[in-house]
């Protein structure tokens, strides 16, 4: 007679944190499962990475994309800012810098969803009155005790009234995005679906128009009045894939975000490099630089 599965054989019960704490609308895009304080301004955040994902797992389900690490670290910082530093849920976060380095060979997909731990240290919390107005934190992402990535992040946070003033009346309902032009072939940027291609060709082979599709369920998990940082980083990823024709893949991102990327004006992505390990990507809108990103690559 077959022995019934015992409770000790079953995985521990796990639930995600409230999605509002990580600024996500979909439970499926909420990666974090808990957190605890480990010292002054030190925390440990637990997460779960799905074995399949529309964007952040390779099409053959063999590897997690480094941008999944980025999103996990972003969510971890947002979670702690709300829960441990008492920033209200209606505050808006503005990313300034995001640097992440992943270790080669550490992001393979296993027979079960990965359950990484993120050790965070808030190193520079800036206060306006009694509440934080911005912070910098470092993160070490561990998987089964082994380090798989490190990150350094800086951001500011503003109240809803201040954000409305900063945005000058722009809201998700009042701004219409530029219609997305026809994109590149998905295989050229290591994507399976045309909807996930975020670059459209131009007359310059090293310059592309950003495709902004506000119906995309991952990049626009909820309505926004600007282009999200994760879409800009995906553009950097795809641009690096186009310049690297030697089998090297993006494994590190060092990004600076200079201003809001608006939905109703074209954004242009330019890239140079590709002859060594790094690709420099710059996003511009009108006469202004929106963001810069140095993408590190490695054989994977």
CATH number at residue 104: 3.10.129.10
End-to-end CA distance of the chain: 46
Domain of 244 in residue numbering reads as 169-299
Same domain, 154 and 174: no
Whether 132 and 119 have beta carbons less than 8 Å apart is answered as no
Q: Identify the sign of the CA torsion 263, 267, 273, 274.
A: positive
Let me know whether 104 and 144 are in one domain. yes
pLDDT digits (tens, 9 = 90+) for 159-174: 999 999 999 999 999 9
In this structure, the answer to whether residues 193 and 294 fall within a common structural domain is: yes
Residue 160 and residue 262 in one domain? no
What pLDDT does residue 292 have? 98
Residue 80 parent element (H or E): helix 66-83
9 — pLDDT class (breaks 50, 70, 90): very low
pLDDT of the residue at 274: 61
71 within 8 A of 56, measured Cβ to Cβ: yes
| pLDDT confidence bin for 282, thresholds 50/70/90 | very high
Helices and strands, counts by H and E, the chain: 3, 12
pLDDT digits (tens, 9 = 90+) for 208-254: 999 999 999 999 999 999 999 999 999 999 999 999 877 788 999 99
228 shares a domain with 127? no
Q: What is the pLDDT of residue 299?
A: 76
> Is 275 a residue whose pLDDT tops 50?
yes
Neighbours of 158 (CB within 10 A): 18
Residue with more model confidence, 275 or 163 = 163
What pLDDT digit, counting tens, does each position of 98-151 carry? 999 999 889 999 999 999 999 999 999 999 888 899 999 999 999 999 999 999
pLDDT of residue 12: 55
Give yes or no: residues 202 and 158 share one domain. no
- Sign of the torsion formed by the C-alpha atoms of 99, 104, 106 and 111: positive
Residue 6 maps to a domain: no
Q: What tokens does 132 get? A: 């934080």
Single residue among 165, 192, 227 that ends a domain in this structure:
165
In terms of Cβ atoms closer than 10 Å to its own Cβ (0-12, 13-18, 19+), residue 84 is middle
- Residue 7 forms part of a structural domain: no
Residues 143-198: pLDDT tens digits? 999 999 999 999 999 999 999 999 999 999 999 999 999 999 999 999 999 999 99
Average pLDDT, the chain: 93
Is 25 strand, coil or helix?
coil
pLDDT exceeding 70 applies to what percent of the chain? 95
Specify whether the CB–CB gap between 208 and 216 falls below 8 A. no
Are residues 281 and 236 in contact, defined by beta-carbon separation less than 8 angstroms? yes
Tell me, what's the pLDDT at 285?
A: 98
pLDDT at 40 over 70: yes
């Amino acid at each position: 007679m077959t022995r019934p599965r015992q409770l000790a054989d079953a995985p521990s019960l796990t639930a995600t944190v409230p999605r509002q704490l990580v600024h996500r609308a979909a439970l499926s895009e909420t990666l974090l499962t808990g957190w605890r304080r480990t010292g002054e301004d030190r925390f440990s955040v637990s997460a779960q990475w799905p074995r399949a994902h529309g964007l952040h797992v390779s099409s053959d389900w063999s590897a997690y994309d480094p941008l999944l690490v980025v999103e996990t670290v972003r969510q971890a910082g947002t979670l702690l800012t709300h829960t441990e530093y008492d920033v209200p849920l209606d505050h808006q976060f503005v990313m300034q810098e995001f640097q992440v380095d992943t270790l080669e060979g550490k992001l393979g997909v296993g027979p079960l969803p990965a359950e990484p731990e993120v050790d965070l240290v808030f190193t520079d919390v800036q206060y306006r009155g009694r509440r934080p107005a911005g912070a910098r934190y470092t993160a070490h992402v561990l998987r089964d005790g082994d380090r798989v990535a490190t990150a350094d992040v800086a951001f500011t946070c503003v109240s809803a009234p201040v954000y409305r003033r900063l945005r000058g009346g722009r809201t998700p309902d009042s701004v219409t995005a530029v219609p997305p032009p026809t994109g590149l072939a998905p295989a050229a940027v290591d994507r399976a679906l045309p909807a996930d291609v975020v670059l459209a060709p131009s007359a310059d082979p090293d310059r592309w128009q950003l495709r902004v599709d506000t119906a995309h369920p991952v990049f626009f998990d909820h309505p926004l009045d600007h282009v999200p940082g994760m879409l800009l980083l995906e553009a950097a990823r795809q641009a690096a894939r186009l310049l690297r024709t030697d089998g090297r893949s993006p494994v590190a991102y060092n990004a600076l975000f200079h201003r809001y990327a608006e939905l109703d004006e074209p954004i242009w992505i330019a890239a140079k490099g590709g002859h060594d390990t790094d690709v420099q990507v710059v996003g511009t809108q009108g006469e202004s630089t929106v963001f810069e990103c140095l993408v590190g690559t490695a054989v994977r």
